[in-house]
Amino acid sequence: MRGYAFQRLALGAAQLALLAVLVFALTALLPGDAADVRNNEDATDAQVAALREQLGLDRPAVERFTDWAAGLPTGDFGTSLVSGGPVRDILADTVGTTLVLGAVTLAVVLPVAVLLGVASGLREGGRLDRTVTSVTLALNAVPDFVLALLLVAGLSLKLGLLPATWVGVEAGDLLAEPALLVLPVTVVAARVVCLLSRQVRAGVVSVLGAGYVVQARRLGVPRRTLLLRHVLPNAAVPGIQELARVGDNLVGGVLIVEAVFAVPGVATALVRAVEARDVPTVQGLALVVAVAALLFSLAADLLCHRLVPRTEVLR
């Protein structure tokens, strides 16, 4: 287990280093810079050049990347070109909101997906299985932003049951007003539950048909013991692997609903930073999102390996 964990950590560190290079390179390709955005149309070329020199944007890209990368191990993401304060202060103000939204979504996804997958797998071909399969396939075909608009139109604008947006809501009010979380969490969780429950169902069906399970049933092993000790641990592996695979969808879905519902999280800060060409903030936010996705994938792979050590976890 330790060897596998070390191998995955080394791979994650290499992926993170590559992502840092890609994030810096892609932000360097953005048209214009903060000096262009901050100066008005009447500014002369000399004034723009002076501001560009003041912000350090005229330095060679290699030099700027070296300074930026050197601060990352200590949590120094640089200085915002808009506020003039540390980027980590912006991260501290926004990442918490996104983490709360992601954690609540995950707390909803796991029990619902496992329950639907196990119930469908135990009744393969039955009415419940056919119903769950039809609903999940249909729901999976609906894009996140379309589902968000449908829910807002129906539950918020038509029936007035839930708030449509988070405009005017402070980040600290999230847990104090749970109604705010219902629509964003529902949108993000819907697609992940569809994908995950299908994998859990397939795992349950596969394990129930395995020779050792069939033989155990012939020997009279109680159904509950068979389910808890053999079927669920082995059936959980493909589900957890699927959860790791769709981790990017989960992170991406959270960012999409933040934009749709005006949630004061990472996505909102990222959009504002791009508009202002605040490159250090864009780099910091993008890197934090990438680290979250990598940690999510790493945790899922380690859990798979812990449940079934002999299983080759291939990603």
| Domain over 87-307 is classified CATH 3.30.300.30 | no
Q: What is the mean pLDDT of the chain?
A: 80
pLDDT surpassing 80 at residue 4: no
pLDDT confidence tier of residue 314, bands split at 50, 70 and 90? very low
pLDDT surpassing 70 at residue 168: no
Confidence at residue 35, expressed as pLDDT on a 0 to 100 scale: 75
pLDDT surpassing 50 at residue 313: no
The tens digit of pLDDT for each residue in 213-258 reads 888 888 888 878 878 877 777 777 777 767 766 666 677 777 778 8
- Rounded to whole angstroms, the Cα distance separating 269 from 275 reads 10
> How is the chain split into domains, by residue range?
1-74, 87-307
What is the arithmetic mean of pLDDT over 166-180?
A: 69
39-43, 91-95, 145-149, 297-301: lowest mean pLDDT where?
A: 39-43
List C-alpha distances in Å: 124 to 127, 132, 206, 226, 260: 9, 11, 11, 17, 38
Are 301 and 313 a contacting pair, CB within 8 Å? yes
Nearest partner of 295 among 232, 250, 228, judged by Cα: 250
What is the arithmetic mean of pLDDT over 182-195?
A: 87
Confidence at residue 195, expressed as pLDDT on a 0 to 100 scale: 85
Confidence at residue 248, expressed as pLDDT on a 0 to 100 scale: 66
pLDDT surpassing 80 at residue 301: no
- Other beta carbons within 10 angstroms of residue 44's beta carbon come to 9
Percentage of the chain modeled with pLDDT above 90: 1
What is the arithmetic mean of pLDDT over 119-133?
A: 89
Are 204 and 118 a contacting pair, CB within 8 Å? yes
3-state secondary structure (DSSP) of residue 183: helix
Alpha helices for 2-123 (secondary structure H): 2-28, 34-38, 45-55, 61-71, 87-122
Are 20 and 310 a contacting pair, CB within 8 Å? no
pLDDT confidence tier of residue 131, bands split at 50, 70 and 90? very high
Percentage of the chain modeled with pLDDT above 70: 90
Label residue 56 left, alpha or beta by phi (over 0 means left) and psi (-120 to 50 means alpha). Answer: left
pLDDT confidence tier of residue 171, bands split at 50, 70 and 90? low
Measured in residues, the chain has a length of 315
What is the arithmetic mean of pLDDT over 112-135?
A: 89
Q: What's the distance, CA 205 to chain centroid?
A: 29
Of the two residues 116 and 210, the one the predictor is more confident about is 116
End-to-end, the C-alpha distance of the chain in Å comes to: 17
Confidence at residue 78, expressed as pLDDT on a 0 to 100 scale: 84
30-39, 146-155, 263-272: lowest mean pLDDT where?
A: 30-39
Give 297's DSSP letter: H
Of the two residues 74 and 167, the one the predictor is more confident about is 74
pLDDT confidence tier of residue 175, bands split at 50, 70 and 90? low
The tens digit of pLDDT for each residue in 76-116 reads 888 888 888 888 888 888 888 888 888 888 889 888 988 89
The tens digit of pLDDT for each residue in 69-78 reads 888 888 888 8
